[in-house]
Structure 1
Amino acid sequence: MSFATTDLCDDHPELLEDGRLLVLPPVFKHWGQHRRFCGPITTLRVFEDNALVRATLEAPGHGHVLVIDGGGSLRRALVGGQLGLLAQNNGWAGIVIDGCVRDTDELNACAVGIRALAAIPQRSARQGVGERNGRISVAGVAVSPDDWCYADADGILIARQKLA
């Protein structure tokens, strides 16, 4: 996994121009041990409810990146330490959350990359409400299942295909 988001942008100006390569706004903070991660995307849309997040992370990740449209909520955490461990142990490359995390010390001990808007101590509801593998919006950027996510210290890119 040798890439830099800056190089991907420089090497693919035509993809940036026609919208096949998108840059997420610089609003995400980093947790977890992996600052750099990439993979095909699995999507979730949930709002202040992480039951589907848990169910998804309990399954093998096969190097995918879980991208969660949490509606930008800053009121409840969608991922905490237990889910960070599930992501690590089940082979997920990373998690990008348009929402919050908690248990940040535990998340920082996990061998996975995690990006989210903020940390907050309040846990989410667990009703199982949401949608898996649909087109979502993260920080105003459209994301579809099987798009590719590339994340490093400079930012997060969403590509419509795997980039060389």
Structure 2
Amino acid sequence: MSIKTTDLCDEFGAGAKVLLPIFQDLGGRADFQGRAVTVKCFEDNSRIKELSTTAGEGKVLVVDGGGSDRCALFGDHIAEDLVRNGWAGVLVYGYVRDKAVLRTFPIAIKALGVTPAKSTKRNEGQVGLSVTIAGQVISEGDQLFADDDGVLVLKAVVTEGAQ
């Protein structure tokens, strides 16, 4: 990634919304940048699985799992789909599994942590909603940036004006 979060903070000031530093790097990369695709789900990864099989070029999957530590919202199979379909990265307000395998994939996966328990599949969850994660509101289409220094959001209006 060529754009550093520190440089974006310097350039945009208060317009760069920095997420609280609560995420672990669990993929083979620490950096991503792309447009947010949001999914809100609680202990059900049905919508995540669906989205992982769609084209993800230039997109970051933002998962609001409510911070639940009772199950993982995805593991190696979904991560493999995300890589195959060109997703730039994943931000999970929740837990994932298959940590050792996730580290081998060339994608940034930032989550609260890991747990071996799998999620349920009840075909629940909503795509495209604004979600509040780590102290910031993230809306569909917002631009997300992440690296070793953290994760930040530039609202879609700010990034459109900057281009």
TM-score, length-scaled by structure 1: 0.93
After TM superposition, the structure 1 = structure 2 runs for residues 45-64 of structure 1, keeping only pairs within 5 Å, are: 45-64=40-59
Out of 48, 66, 75, which is 2:61 matched to?
A: 66
Contact 1:72–1:139 (CA under 8 A) maintained in structure 2: no
Contact 2:83–2:105 (CA under 8 A) maintained in structure 1: yes
Which residue is 2:12 aligned to?
12
Contact 2:28–2:107 (CA under 8 A) maintained in structure 1: yes
Structure 1 consecutive aligned stretches of length 4 or more whose deviation exceeds 6 Å: none
Separation in structure 2 between the aligned mates of residue 6 and residue 101 of structure 1, nearest angstrom: 27
Aligned length: 159
Deviations 1:61-95 (A, max 9, x none): 12200001110111110020111111100010000
Extract unaligned runs of 5+ from structure 1: none
Q: How big is the shift at 1:140?
A: 3.0
Deviations 1:1-36 (A, max 9, x none): 3011111101112xx1xxx42111000000112211
Matched, 1:98 2:87: no
Q: How big is the shift at 1:54?
A: 0.4
Contact 1:29–1:115 (CA under 8 A) maintained in structure 2: yes
Separation in structure 2 between the aligned mates of residue 153 and residue 104 of structure 1, nearest angstrom: 18
Q: How big is the shift at 1:59?
A: 0.8
Q: State the one-letter code of the partner of 2:3.
A: F
Which residue is 2:81 aligned to?
86
Structure 1 residues 108-117 or 134-143, which shifts more?
134-143
Which residue is 1:147 aligned to?
142
Separation in structure 1 between the aligned mates of residue 62 and residue 87 of structure 2, nearest angstrom: 11
Separation in structure 1 between the aligned mates of residue 125 and residue 100 of structure 2, nearest angstrom: 28
TM-score, length-scaled by structure 2: 0.93
Q: State the one-letter code of the partner of 1:78.
A: L
Q: How big is the shift at 1:134?
A: 1.1
Contact 2:43–2:73 (CA under 8 A) maintained in structure 1: yes
Contact 1:46–1:71 (CA under 8 A) maintained in structure 2: yes
Cα-Cα RMSD: 1.2
Contact 1:29–1:117 (CA under 8 A) maintained in structure 2: yes
Matched, 1:120 2:122: no
Separation in structure 2 between the aligned mates of residue 82 and residue 134 of structure 1, nearest angstrom: 25
